[in-house]
Structure 1
Amino acid sequence: MSDEANRAAFQEIKGRMIENTGKMKQVQNQMRNKEGEKKRAYLTLAELRQLPDNTNTYKSIEREFVLEPKSVLMNEQEQRLKDSESAIAALQASKEYLEKQKAEVESNLAELLQQDPGLAQQIMSMSVM
């Protein structure tokens, strides 16, 4: 490959790596948020379970509070817990896919650098500037 083709290949690999890193951070943030939602739902359920069955509870809707039977809130929290768990599972699958893509990109970079050892020096001299 010519120097220009190698540089173009490097730029493409670099772009893919940057894109992959951004997606990975986004997925990790989403997972962290869903873990928080799951924990809140779990803790709320734990508190609701301690109340007698015939207890009326207050549900917060924006800035208002609505009186609801305990069973309604229990069902809502159980659904939130299930939704969070399924979202986390889907995000975990996305994370694993992105990790495979990252490994592939790193492999492509290593292969490119193996084909043209002078490219590594060029890259390093470009990053120093």
Structure 2
Amino acid sequence: MGDEANRAAFVELQGRMIEITGKLKQVQNQMRAKEGEKKRAYLTMEELRQLVDDTNTYKSIGKLFILEPKSLLLSEQEQKLKDSENAITSLQTSKEYLEKQLAEVENNLRELLQQDPGLARQIMSMTVM
């Protein structure tokens, strides 16, 4: 009975590990996307700041271009930059939490395999085949 319980615990931990790893990859991809948005907003702001104040500026909306004041475009880019930074901060917190969960699951797996060497041998024999 203990053998079956250990096997069930291993399968559960393995499932949690796969789930957490998937979530971690998703968060990392979201962070990369937000970093790109942040960089685009910053570069756009830098280009807009170099323009004379009365320069005609256009905002792209799909396939349309709308004449907008430079100050409005600058404030929109500043807001995008702040939003991206806030999202990155939030995602970083999520990433750290998931990394802690992953480390905990790895430790639990390690302890389980140390407690039941027979289970470790069974797993190794299954991966060899």
TM bracket (short chain):
over 0.9
TM-score normalised according to structure 2 size = 0.97
- 118-127 vs 20-29, which moves further: 118-127
2:106 paired with 1:128: no
Deviation at 1:38, TM superposition (A): 0.2
Mapping of 1:1-129 within 5 angstroms? 2-129=2-129
Deviation at 1:40, TM superposition (A): 0.2
Deviation at 1:128, TM superposition (A): 2.4
For residues 73-104 of structure 1, what are the alpha-carbon distances to aligned partners after superposition, in whole Å with 9 as ceiling and x for unaligned? 00100000000000000000000000000010
Query: Which AA in structure 2 matches 1:71?
Result: S
- 10-19 vs 48-57, which moves further: 48-57
What secondary structure sits across from 2:66 in the alignment? strand
In the alignment of these two chains, the number of paired residues is 129
Query: Which AA in structure 1 matches 2:34?
Result: K
Unaligned 5+ runs, structure 2: none
% identity of equivalent residues:
78
Unaligned 5+ runs, structure 1: none
> Structure 1 segments of 4 or more deviating over 4 A?
none
Deviation at 1:56, TM superposition (A): 2.2
Deviation at 1:125, TM superposition (A): 1.2
